[in-house]
Amino acid sequence: MYVHDAFDRRLITERVEEFRDQVRRRLSGELTEDEFKLLRLLNGVYLQLHAYMLRIGIPYGTLSSAQLRMLAHVARRYDRGYGHFTTRQNIQFHWIKLENLPDAMAELARVGLHGIQTSGNSVRNVTTDQWAGVAPDEIEDPRVWAEVVRQHVTLHPEFTFMPRKFKIAVGTATHDRAALRIHDLALRLHRNEAGDAGFEVMVGGGLGRTPFLAKTIKKFLPKHDVLSYVEAVLRTYNQFGRRDNAWKARIKILVHELGAEAFAREVEQEWLSIKDGALALDDAALAEIAARFRYPAYERLADDPLELKKALATDRRFDTWRRNAVARHRMPGYAIVTLSLKAEGETPGDATAAQMDAIADLADRYSAGEIRVGHEQNLVLPHVRQQDLHALWRALDAAGLATPNVGLVSDIIACPGLDYCSLANARSIPIAQDLTRRFRDGDLARGLNRLHINISGCINACGHHHVGHIGILGVEKNGEEYYQVTIGGRADEEAALGKLIGPAVPYGEVANVVEDIVAAYVELRERPGEIFIDTLKRVGIEPFKERVHAAH
Amino acid sequence: MTSPLHQKIKVAGPVVVTANRLTDGAVIYRTTNGQWTTELPGAEVVTTSDAAMALLTAARADLVRVVDAYVAPVVLADGSPRPGNLRERIRAAGPTIDLPASAATSDVHVCA
């Protein structure tokens, strides 16, 4: 858990009071909408189809139970009793009133939460692995590096009005759980042949209308140089990125048009001029930041305690959930628990105030008061003693938070789509809900192994459809909702963009097409354990296309 | 470049002017007497480009009460306007999905 200091608190509080005055001036007519829009976007306030939306960043996906309770309180008091966790470790409230925003923000500020740089052409929330600090396969806690970057870019005047928004992700584990290659800038910590840890720097990833995977421009950057190198990337983008056309303004276009090598040369030139200056990190500064991340006082425990074995042997539903939602922790005797926000028929990523309160209570009781938010729109309890798993499961089950579908076909990523979003062309949520009903049979879903479906309601791709094993993109054709379906995308360490499987299909056909793709996979896989994406890699897209074409 | 005030609006059928209310973002429609209503049947319906432009210009002059005014298509049923496309249907009626379970009981906002 990160500990905020007086500087952090003052910065957020002052911004709230500044925004309160801006809202007052807008409501009185002193500010026009054109003037105010820029100001509200600096604070994460959007206007959507039916209401204002407040987006709150959750840096590196880490929440305290007090913060989650405050989110529940804001949901109840200022919104409609729920919030929506997004694909970028943010939460959104979709029904908040302009006149209530300053009060809501002031309450959020009391626990260190805010919407600064969750919109506009700024450096957005720096994201990372939701298992940060507890994953057995990581080199070190990535949140320290995410925090180093976050502190530097927060309200940095040089990077407040860039050509477009800028998304940074940090990963330090063998497995990429942070979707690194779809970010504008990604930092992946790894070890070189000498055993030293340094960053692979990737730039120019992004989805949207023109999807690209990030390209490596530096294979090994010493850790202490990370801040100067990030600054050099941002400066290069700020200088050369296009400002004449919003569709061509992201860094991915610049890297593509300039070429990764030429872009890297520009960055290198800038970096060499600043690397030994004020941004060179020293051990004391790093230690000071690392010390703000506090871990629980772990007990000396052994894996697979007797009470867990007994419960698993006697309670089949618990065993099913444990196999699906519980992962190994770096500390013996502990576990990482994922809470699915994808119950049958529900909206992916939505949590009610009552659920948030329940999770906060369970985090206090079983997870050292800490909760994580992942880009798949699920929550995580990161420090659970294995001996407590059965009791935790019973409580989660009672709260409707023990759906054992993590990583399965019904664990769908979906943006809010046309039900909320003013940019959308088609709905996402009802498609996701329909699919969770189609694949409600848990045994069937588990038999399909890991299978990611991602849905976006427009080409902006907030639902990451390009990197879904099965991707669904809503488009508008002659006033009707149609959906393009892609297969073969993935957001992990073997990141890839999906390929179209055929012409777009109408709303009512989407779930049928997905069922056909899944049926083709079951027929084509070599053995029950071969996952969808591996079958597709082995046989190619054609057999899947044939199956879908034959049926539609 | 033509000023927005002098741009033509293509009108192929009945239209209304809609916007979001400044205070809470609610969907509102311009009425015949220059006011705003949250009920589409109360909206002024026009059928020509010039009339739509005049309605929109007047609406946009209302800088304090509304945001993002624009011309939206409607269809007339028994003389009463109904939303002309899916986006407008969702704007008029709200999300097509059930809101999460506790939402119904939490509709107690701090301001009336």
Complex ipTM, two decimals? 0.92
The answer on A312 and A262 residing in a single domain is: no
* Whole-number pLDDT of residue A1: 75
Rg, Å, chain A Cα set:
23
In a domain, A317, yes or no: yes
Confidence of residue B107 (pLDDT cuts 50, 70, 90): very low
In a domain, A261, yes or no: yes
Under an 8 A CB cutoff, do A49 and B102 touch? no
Measured in angstroms, the CA of B51 and the nearest CA of chain A are apart by: 24
Q: How many domains does the structure of chain A reveal?
A: 4
| Nearest CB to A81 within list B25, B64, B103 | B103
Q: Where a domain ends, among A262, A291, A320?
A: A291
- Closest A-chain CA to B64: A29
The answer on A544 and A506 residing in a single domain is: yes
What is the rounded distance in angstroms from the CA atom of residue B14 to the CA atom of residue B24? 27
User: How far, CA to CA in Å, does A304 sit from each of A206, A377, A378, A383, A386?
Assistant: 41, 29, 25, 15, 7
The answer on A63 and A19 residing in a single domain is: yes
Q: A423-437 pLDDT, tens per residue?
A: 999 999 999 999 999
| Nearest CB to B95 within list A47, A79, A420 | A420
In a domain, A277, yes or no: yes
Q: Where a domain ends, among A264, A291, A318?
A: A291
Under an 8 A CB cutoff, do B106 and A353 touch? yes
- Kind of pairing between the strands at A127-128 and B15-21: unpaired
Q: A3-55 pLDDT, tens per residue?
A: 888 888 999 999 999 999 999 999 999 999 999 999 999 999 999 999 999 99
The answer on A506 and A377 residing in a single domain is: no
Cβ-based burial of A264 (10 A; exposed 0-12, middle 13-18, buried ≥19): buried
Q: Which helix (H) or strand (E) holds A64?
A: strand A62-64
What is the rounded distance in angstroms from the CA atom of residue A118 to the CA atom of residue A222? 29
In a domain, A274, yes or no: yes
* Whole-number pLDDT of residue A208: 95
Return the axis-axis angle of helices A353-366 and A65-78, rounded to nearest 10°: 170
* Whole-number pLDDT of residue B106: 41
* Whole-number pLDDT of residue B108: 36
Phi–psi pair at A138, nearest 5 degrees: -100, 155
A76 inside 8 A of chain B by CB: yes
Under an 8 A CB cutoff, do B97 and A430 touch? yes
B86 inside 8 A of chain A by CB: yes
What is the rounded distance in angstroms from the CA atom of residue A436 to the CA atom of residue A63? 28
Under an 8 A CB cutoff, do B100 and A427 touch? no
pTM, entire model: 0.95
User: How far, CA to CA in Å, does A257 sit from each of A214, A220, A250, B38?
Assistant: 14, 24, 11, 48
A50 inside 8 A of chain B by CB: yes
- Cβ(B24)–Cβ(B58) below 8 Å: no
**DSSP states along A401-428:** -----TTSTT--EE--GGGT-TT-SS-S
Under an 8 A CB cutoff, do A80 and B110 touch? no
Q: What residues of chain B lie within 8 A of the CB of A51, using their CB?
A: 24-26
pLDDT score of B43 more than 50: yes
The answer on A275 and A173 residing in a single domain is: yes
Q: A232-241 pLDDT, tens per residue?
A: 999 999 999 9
The answer on A546 and A431 residing in a single domain is: yes
Phi–psi pair at A520, nearest 5 degrees: -60, -40
- Closest A-chain CA to B108: A77
Q: Quickly count: other Cβ atoms within 10 Å of residue B70's Cβ.
A: 13
Q: What residues of chain A lie within 8 A of the CB of B27, using their CB?
A: 49-50
Q: Which helix (H) or strand (E) holds A185?
A: strand A185-191
The answer on A140 and A14 residing in a single domain is: no
Measured in angstroms, the CA of A426 and the nearest CA of chain B are apart by: 8
| Nearest CB to A50 within list B27, B102, B110 | B27
In a domain, A405, yes or no: no
Q: Quickly count: other Cβ atoms within 10 Å of residue A273's Cβ.
A: 12
| Nearest CB to A80 within list B20, B64, B106 | B106
Q: Among A310, A280, A6, A247, which Cα is nearest to A152's?
A: A280
Average pLDDT over residues A157-174: 96
Q: What residues of chain A lie within 8 A of the CB of B101, using their CB?
A: 352, 354
Q: Is A114 helix (H, G, I), strand (E, B) or coil?
A: coil
- Cβ(A271)–Cβ(A228) below 8 Å: yes
The answer on A138 and A286 residing in a single domain is: yes
Q: Residue A31: give the domain boundaries.
A: 6-109
In a domain, A215, yes or no: yes
The answer on A287 and A138 residing in a single domain is: yes
* Whole-number pLDDT of residue B4: 54
The answer on A243 and A188 residing in a single domain is: yes
Least confident of A17-26, A485-494, B84-93, B96-105: B96-105
* Whole-number pLDDT of residue B2: 53
Measured in angstroms, the CA of B59 and the nearest CA of chain A are apart by: 14
Measured in angstroms, the CA of B9 and the nearest CA of chain A are apart by: 19
pLDDT score of A105 more than 90: yes
In a domain, A116, yes or no: no
| Nearest CB to A347 within list B90, B100, B102 | B100
- Cβ(A178)–Cβ(A372) below 8 Å: no
Measured in angstroms, the CA of B55 and the nearest CA of chain A are apart by: 19
The answer on A214 and A142 residing in a single domain is: yes
pLDDT score of B5 more than 60: no
